[in-house]
Amino acid sequence: MISRNSKAGLVVRQLARIEKDLLRLKEEFRSATFQKSTLVEELIAQSEEELKDAFNEMMEGTVDASKELADVVFLRVTFARKLFEGDVSEHLLGEDDFLNLDRDAVSSEKLLIKYFNQLTHLIGRMKLRIGAHRG
């Protein structure tokens, strides 16, 4: 029996919290209706594997190894969550390629040209507004 306040008990509770967070993220990601980031998908898959490894280490009695894996999984799940939240915000704002971090994403040069053209257009509109207010 593992004591609730022992090191092993604390790691078990940490693993349970991480598993809960991972399952929530996985469900939200699965139900998203917009183009999903393959990076988030990969992070979820890696987290699931590492979480299994952490539970296996705990079952074998290697609490320190389980704790190390739990810490890595926590960071990976947190990073995936933040990326997913960024994707959700981006989708809600209507900027479908702003945070596209997929490996097969459009080249940086093409994105920079696109954003430069958008800025140029915006500056042109602002000049027209300023000119209208002056004259």
Residue 55 vs residue 95, higher pLDDT: 55
pLDDT tens digits for range 34-63: 888 888 999 999 999 999 999 999 999 999
pLDDT of residue 90: 81
Mean pLDDT of the chain: 84
Confidence of residue 69 (pLDDT cuts 50, 70, 90): very high
Higher-pLDDT residue of 121, 107: 121
The pLDDT of residue 4 is 61
Read off the pLDDT of each residue in 96-124 and give the average, rounded to a whole number: 65
- pLDDT given at position 109: 64
Answering whether pTM is above 0.85, one says no
Is pLDDT of 125 > 90? no
Between CA 20 and CA 74 the distance in angstroms is 11
